[in-house]
Amino acid sequence: MDLIWEGIKEAIILLFQGDREVFSVVTTSLRVSLSAILICLLLGVPLGTFLGLAQYPGRRVVASFVNVGMGLPPVVVGLVVAVMLWRNGLFGFLGVMYTPNAMIIAQTVIALPIVTALTMAAIQQLNPKLRLQILALGSTKWQMFWILVREARLSILAATIAGFGAIISEVGASMMVGGNILGQTRVLTTATVMETSKGNFEVAIALGVILFALAYAVTLGLTLVQQRDTTP
Amino acid sequence: MKAAALRLEAVEVRRSKKTVLQIPHLSIGNGEVLAVIGPNGAGKSTLLQVLALLEKPSRGRVFLNDQEVTPRSNLVSLRRHLALVFQEPLLFRGSVFDNVTLGLRIRGVSKRESKQRAEYWLSKLNIHTLASRSVTKLSAGEAQRVNLARSLVLNPEVFLLDEPFASLDPPTRTSLIEDMQHVLAETKVTAVFVTQDRAEALMIGERLAVMVDGRIVQMDTPEAVFARPATAEVAAFMGVENILAGRVLSGANGRSLVQVGDHQITTEETHVPGSELLICLRSEDITVSLPSEDGDLNSKPNVMKGRITRLGPLGAQCRVVVDCSVPLTALIPKQVFVGLSLSKGNEVLLTFKPRDVHAISMSRPTSVAENAT
């Protein structure tokens, strides 16, 4: 118990002292995970909306693949992305291995199925007649898509929260494709693992507390936006 | 002759290898209000979606303002001539005002004009005080008024309504129907009004189409459909309780004698002797009296004697089921019921006028090809 308390105190000290190393780790964590979730929203929301609305053969099979994707183990994602980005890999020519961009790619792969699958479910939960009503109001197909996404925005925000929660807290993929390089690819999760392995439990707990606070702050912001829409 | 706002030619809609809609010809004139009535699964909503250009028929041609809708047509632009109101209000998250102006925003109408048009219709439908209220806080009646305002604000050329009052309580429904009648009379908009309620159809429709199994089986003025249903199904749907099989004994000069069970029924219609037909008789057109009150039975047409088998009070009226070798149901005022001291097992006389008897020929076709107005 004392260890945890010391860790919390250490976290407060590290934050308020403006420790450069901690600041770098926090900003890298935020930059990587927010970039990844933004890409997931840009790709996953249209894809989930399309999958939720379109009628095509094998629709259920595609839906099951997207749903399976929600449970992808980050270590496996890290391994596959590392193999792809490795010097001799398929995308080795990009030269992004051990950079924040590689971590963004890996985190996008982890969160994209979550955002897509939950958006698909959100769109499918809407009354099917809404689509006809929007078209009957004279909308184009794009306007209809946009209005349906707006109508499902509470669930899509929940998808965003779930996706962000999954990537801000993952460690395996970030470690494998980022390499935990100080000032470049070290994020809160990889730093916590490293400090624990070195026996610096107080620092590790402090980093864990900061990670939790960070995840909570972002999620709180998204939740406030989400709940604002539920109040009359 | 009115020009057709909407016209269907040889339209067929098939789903899962089953024909759900088959309309040889349907023409809805400019400014006309057509009521479409029929049981569940009759194809009424499918017809409306074809008319709203939301469903492409498997076969046939659709015309809007005499212009054929083809695969090359700009459906979005054509749909903007129409407005469709569903049974459920289908409102979107946000305020009443946001919902009423949604179609206008979709069409890129300026904020100022949108506001003016929305305020006009909110006021017209008595919901102007709700403009800023969240749609989640509306009653069912208020929500349906918002739904109607959202469509009317678009100034549609054709207004399509799919059972808009079906889920409302009776007082709300009555008030909305009255408002709707005023709106239709004032705007003179072409309207197709789908309903299962014959009272609504009779109140709103200038013409009435009865649908059964994806076909229009009768189309005429509401009064004509009510008085002279074309088939037994239409008769039953229009509330005819007494439908009896008979054979024509004689028929000439606008009068026919029909054998029904042990009785001979006179009708003011001419039918071919020997032909089989169905006699339709509305329960409210039958008078009930006691045998002692009546004089010579044989001197009057359409007088039948029988015993009461069932009685059912219905508020101001009473349903009396009488066995006259054929079962007949009469609907009589409560005062008459009390005055005659009727009870189960009583012998009574049933009387009805020849002009109230409508006969349906058994060989009548089951669908109609309707003429353009």
Question: Average pLDDT for residues B284-289, to the nearest whole number?
Answer: 92
Residue B318 has pLDDT above 50, yes or no: yes
A39 touches chain B (CB under 8 A): no
Q: Quick one: tokens of B140?
A: 């069912």
A137 touches chain B (CB under 8 A): yes
Interface mutation vs chain B, best among A125, A131, A133, most B CBs within 10 Å: A133
Interface mutation vs chain A, best among B56, B100, B102, B137, most A CBs within 10 Å: B102
Do B83 and A137 make contact, defined as CB atoms within 8 angstroms? Answer: yes
How much is the pLDDT for B1?
A: 52
B84 touches chain A (CB under 8 A): yes
How much is the pLDDT for B369?
A: 44
How much is the pLDDT for B218?
A: 94
pLDDT tens digits for range B117-171: 999 999 999 999 999 999 999 999 999 999 999 999 999 999 999 999 888 888 8
How much is the pLDDT for A5?
A: 81
Q: Which region holds residue B342: left if phi is over 0, alpha if psi is between -120 and 50, else beta? A: beta
B105 touches chain A (CB under 8 A): no
Chain A residues inside the 8 Å CB shell of B106: 134, 137-139, 143
Closest CA to A73 of A106, A97, A33: A106
Cα separation of B312 and B155, whole Å?
48
- Confidence check on the interface: ipTM exceeds 0.90, yes or no: no
A142 touches chain B (CB under 8 A): no
* pTM, two decimal places: 0.81
pLDDT tens digits for range B200-246: 888 899 999 999 999 999 999 998 998 889 999 899 888 899 999 99
Cα separation of A60 and B196, whole Å?
36
How much is the pLDDT for B371?
A: 40
Chain A residues inside the 8 Å CB shell of B88: 127, 129
Q: Give whole-number Cα distances, B313 to B174, B308, B318, B347, in Å.
A: 24, 14, 4, 19
Q: Which residues of chain A have pLDDT under 50?
A: 232
Do B88 and A127 make contact, defined as CB atoms within 8 angstroms? Answer: yes
Neighbours of B188 (CB within 10 A): 11
Cα separation of A145 and A151, whole Å?
10
Chain B residues inside the 8 Å CB shell of A153: 93
Lowest mean pLDDT among A18-22, B77-81, B181-185: A18-22
Please give, rounded to a whole number of angstroms, the shortest distance from the CA of A115 to a CA of chain B: 22
Contact B160/B201 with Cβ under 8 angstroms?
no
How much is the pLDDT for A231?
A: 53
Helix (H) or strand (E) holding B199: helix B198-204
Who contacts A173 (Cβ-Cβ below 8 Å, separation ≥6)? A74, A75, A77, A78, A81, A103, A106, A107, A109, A110
Inter-residue long-range contacts of B55-58, CB under 8 Å, 24+ positions, other chains counted: B55/B13, B57/B8, B57/B11, B57/B12, B57/B13, B57/B21, B58/B12, B58/B13, B58/B14
Residue B294 has pLDDT above 70, yes or no: no
How much is the pLDDT for B329?
A: 94
How much is the pLDDT for B295?
A: 56
Do B82 and A136 make contact, defined as CB atoms within 8 angstroms? Answer: yes
Q: Quick one: tokens of A122?
A: 């959100």
Closest CA to B184 of B199, B171, B203, B211: B203
Do B54 and A132 make contact, defined as CB atoms within 8 angstroms? Answer: yes
Helix (H) or strand (E) holding A188: helix A188-197
Residue B336 has pLDDT above 90, yes or no: no
How much is the pLDDT for B363?
A: 67
The mean pLDDT value of chain B amounts to: 90
Who contacts A27 (Cβ-Cβ below 8 Å, separation ≥6)? none
Cα separation of A170 and B214, whole Å?
57
